[in-house]
Amino acid sequence: MQVPLLDLRAQYAPLKAKFLAAIEEVCDSQALVLGPKTEAFERAVSEYCGAPHAIGCSSGTDAQLMLLMALGIGPGDAVITTPYTFFATASCIARLGARPVFADIDPATYNICPSSVEAVLKKTKNVKAIIPVHLYGCCADMAALKVIAERYGVPLLEDAAQALGAQHPLGGAGSIGEAGWFSFYPTKNLGAFGDAGMVVCRDEALAAKLRAFRNHGMEVRYYHKYVGGNFRIDAIQSAVLHVKLPHLDTWSAGRRARAATYRRLFAAASLDRWFVNPVEPWSGSGLPNHHIYNQFIVRTPRRDELRACLGASGISTEVYYPLPLHLQECFRDLGYKVGDFPESERAAAETIALPIFPEITDAQQAYVVEKIAAFFR
């Protein structure tokens, strides 16, 4: 049996006719960048996640970059974030000449630990933002982080690249802090037919500034108020994403059901003693989308051996992420060393992503668990 990490064709097939019709409308209109399709999609996301303003752009990375640019973050500034995340979270800070300052994660959720953030704040000057990452589709502890951010007067910006639709008691991912951003890379729960992203925010003036920054800093055509960039979203991506958006909650519910199936199968095979399952911190809150499982993560000190065994059995897995950011060669000048963030380092050494998508079958999941159980036996 072959079990892919993700099967995008299974999602595409039932909606193929709608995708092609939406793309044909864009082609016929020749409004290929921004335009009415993008405006309609922005309104839909704004309503969906509860943020007053939504600004589509070229990728999740560009979404973060243009937000930091619009906030004036640059040389001499510090931004606190997690070292256990996708590279762009820190690279966008560094590209603007600011300094990424890391705080360790909570090992139960893989998200940034509020007490670690406060400890870093106490000893760091010129902190201009705190960036929690809602890793794997589960919100960070935004209640505690908001209290800390307000106490120190620092904006809270949400890296919700993997978490559109995830919910926290304070609101939807991306809409809780001053601003947040999403990625629509094809492997995300809401994925484009290429690359795309979006910033959401509360402040109207910031939203206007972001719309200028995504278009070379123009508010009036060819009159440049800012030095922005070419961060515009293609209309075809907006059209495709608008077709997909009404299905997102159903797909996320499917992923949650598949996560529950894994847990049931793990328990039946007595695998819980071999590796740690991810927790669901808001599962008792009654929130329907407390976790959207962009990835399903387990961990074991024998991760690499297990991954090789599963690969030999036709089961695809991935490691997100094998080397924490504070140990990346390009960030050597930040002065961090092995042992500075032990929970992030352990997670990088032990975590493995198992196949999960709404259409994965019971038989495929049973096969995955059977092979894991055989490995540990």
Tokens coding 16: 């193929």
- Asked whether 203 and 178 are in contact (CB, 8 A), the reply is yes
User: What helix, strand, coil percent values describe the chain, rounded to 5?
Assistant: 45, 15, 40
Q: What is the strand order of the sheet 179-183 is part of? A: 53-57, 197-201, 179-183, 157-159
Tokens coding 175: 């809409």
- Asked whether 183 and 60 are in contact (CB, 8 A), the reply is yes
Name the pLDDT band for 280 (thresholds 50, 70, 90).
low
Q: Which residues have C-beta within 8 Å of that of residue 315, sequence separation ≥ 6?
A: 2, 3, 355, 367, 368, 371
Residue ranges per domain, the chain? 8-245, 247-376
- Asked whether 104 and 116 are in contact (CB, 8 A), the reply is yes
Look up the pTM and report it: 0.95
- State the Rg of the chain over Cα: 21
Name the pLDDT band for 289 (thresholds 50, 70, 90).
confident
What pLDDT digit, counting tens, does each position of 164-205 carry? 999 999 999 999 999 999 999 999 999 999 999 999 999 999
Per-residue burial over 61-78, b = 16 or more CB atoms within 10 Å of its CB, e = otherwise: bbbbbbbbbbbebeeebb
Residue 284 has pLDDT above 80, yes or no: no
Name the pLDDT band for 283 (thresholds 50, 70, 90).
low
Query: Which CA distances in Å does 99 have to 127, 221, 341?
Result: 9, 34, 17
Helix boundaries (H) for 196-318: 204-213, 235-244, 248-268, 303-312
Section 41-55 average pLDDT: 97
Return the pLDDT at 108.
87
What pLDDT digit, counting tens, does each position of 338-377 carry? 999 999 999 999 999 999 999 999 999 999 999 999 999 8
Return the pLDDT at 278.
58
How far is Cα 300 from Cα 352, in angstroms, rounded to an integer?
8
Tokens coding 7: 């099967």
Name the pLDDT band for 273 (thresholds 50, 70, 90).
confident
Q: Which residues have C-beta within 8 Å of that of residue 181, sequence separation ≥ 6?
A: 60, 63, 64, 67, 158, 159, 160, 161, 174, 197, 198, 199, 200
Residue 286 has pLDDT above 80, yes or no: no
Angle at the Cα of 58 (from 130 to 245), degrees rounded to 5?
Answer: 90
Return the pLDDT at 272.
79
The average confidence (pLDDT) of the chain is: 95
Counting other chains too, the contacts that 118-124 makes at CB distance below 8 Å and 24 or more residues apart are 118/148, 120/80, 121/80, 121/148, 121/152, 121/154, 124/78, 124/80
Please give the CATH topology (third level) of the domain spanning 247-376.
Aspartate Aminotransferase, domain 1 (3.90.1150)
Return the pLDDT at 149.
97
DSSP state of 106: P
What pLDDT digit, counting tens, does each position of 116-158 carry? 999 999 999 999 999 999 999 999 999 999 999 999 999 999 9
How far is Cα 106 from Cα 116, in angstroms, rounded to an integer?
9
Return the pLDDT at 288.
79
Secondary-structure class of domain 8-245 per CATH? alpha beta
Section 261-289 average pLDDT: 78
